[in-house]
Structure formats: C-alpha cells, structure tokens
C-alpha cells in the first residue's frame, strides 16, 4: 500500500507523505527568520565593536585637549598675575570650572555604560545598542561644548 494507491483510506500514510513538505516549509521559514536575526545581531555586534572604541578614543583625545587648555589657561593666569595685579574677575576664574566639568564628562564618556537586556529580543538589543551609542555621543558633544565655552571664557577674560 502506498499513498498513491486509491484503495488506501489510511490518512496516516497520506499525512506521512505530506509531512516532509510542511516540515521543510516550516524549517525554511524558521531558518530565514533566524538567519535574519543572526545577520542583524552580527551586524549590530560589529558596529558596536567598532563604534564604542572610536567614541572612547574621541573621549581620550578630548582629555588630551583639556590638558592642553589647562596648560594654556595656567600660563595665562601666571603671566597676568606676574605682570599686573591679581585679577579675581569671574571671566578669569570660570574656565577652571568649565575645564573640570569637561574633564569629568570626558571620563564618563570613556567609562562603560551598564545596561540590561533580553538576549532573545532582537528589537531590544538593537534599541539598547542605539541607546548606548547615543549616550556616549551626547557626552562627547557636551565635552566639546564645554571646551568651546572654556576657549570663549579665556578669550573674554583676556579681553577685559
């Protein structure tokens, strides 16, 4: 008795013949979905592995810039104090605070951000990665803004 035999009324044989087609279709769809998730997770992992060290390097370079600004600012303070009377102007003292704030922000931009996530949810992993990169980038922007403010304050302090 075979599945093609008209005398065969047994649904078990017919189902057994049709089951591999359904199973292979299901496996194909499952494989495509799983491959898509793995593809995106692998891409996300690669982007994260390349992006975070780059951001950390930017923060390190900003720390070097802060050191350079601190040297310039200290030299200006020493020179103006030695050549003239001490200047307690707010514009002359304010760069101390903006440089310290920029340094703290640069350090936090380099430090890791701890997040919890569900490893079974591709959307949550993607959203968490985007959030981590956005947080680190915003810290870099704040640090750059503080350095620009420091430069303006130093220039304004000298102009007074």
Could you tell me which of 139, 141, 143, 157 has the C-alpha nearest to residue 67?
Answer: 143
Would you say residue 5 lies in a domain? no
Contact (Cβ atoms closer than 8 angstroms) between residue 61 and residue 143: no
Could you tell me which of 29, 43, 26, 7 has the C-alpha nearest to residue 130?
Answer: 43
Would you say residue 26 lies in a domain? no
Show the domain range for 149. 45-159
Would you say residue 7 lies in a domain? no
Would you say residue 33 lies in a domain? no
Number of structural domains, the chain?
A: 1
Q: What is the pTM of this model?
A: 0.63
Would you say residue 116 lies in a domain? yes
pLDDT at residue 113 in the model? 78
- Quick one: average pLDDT of 62-87? 79
Distance CA 133, CA 48 (A): 8
For residue 111, the 8-state DSSP code is S
Instruction: Note the pLDDT tens digit of each residue in 111-158.
Output: 887 777 676 777 787 788 888 888 888 999 999 999 999 889 888 877
Residue at token pair 């951001």: 55
% of the chain exceeding 70 in pLDDT: 69
């Amino acid at each position: 008795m075979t599945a093609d035999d008209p005398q065969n009324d047994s649904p078990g044989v017919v189902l057994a013949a049709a089951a591999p087609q359904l199973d292979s279709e299901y496996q194909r769809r499952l494989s495509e979905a799983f491959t898509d998730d793995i593809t995106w997770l692998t891409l996300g992992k690669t982007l994260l592995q390349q992006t975070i060290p780059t951001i950390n390097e930017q923060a390190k370079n900003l720390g070097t810039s802060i050191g350079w600004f601190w040297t310039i600012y200290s030299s200006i303070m020493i020179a103006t104090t030695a050549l003239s009377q001490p200047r307690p102007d707010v514009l002359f003292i304010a760069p101390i605070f903006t440089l310290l704030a920029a340094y703290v922000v640069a350090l936090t931009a380099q430090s890791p951000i701890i997040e919890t996530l569900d490893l079974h949810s591709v959307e949550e992993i993607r959203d968490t990665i985007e959030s981590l990169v956005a947080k680190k980038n915003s810290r870099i922007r704040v640090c750059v803004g503080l350095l620009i403010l420091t430069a303006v304050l130093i220039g304004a302090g000298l102009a007074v």
